[in-house]
Amino acid sequence: METINYQQFSEKLPTLVEKIGNEQEPLCLELPNYLRAVIISEQDYRSLMETVYLLSNPVNAEKLLTTASRSIDQATSWTKVKNDLGL
């Protein structure tokens, strides 16, 4: 993640905001007194909030984490899904 100071950020604001949005890459903004802020795109923010929401329910979190840990070999084939749905 790139880090930039406040002066550089204010000079390049439109370009940096466009870059953050297009490249989905966060930017660390270094402020006076050693404060830091991370700037992300709205899409990334919404994705993070959805993840937090989904993982906030313990039952849902367990299901998601179990599913995520399965290997690709354990996945259901697309052909089987279509057959099961009668497609």
Indicate the pTM of the whole model: 0.66
Domains of the chain, CATH where assigned:
2-41 (3.40.1620.10)
Identify residue 71 by its one-letter amino acid code. S
Cβ atoms within 10 Å of 20's Cβ, excluding its own: 18
pLDDT digits (tens, 9 = 90+) for 23-40: 999 999 999 888 999 999
> Is the pLDDT score of 76 beyond 90?
no
Q: Choose among 5, 67, 61, 66: nearest CA to 30.
A: 5
Task: Tell me 75's DSSP state.
Answer: S
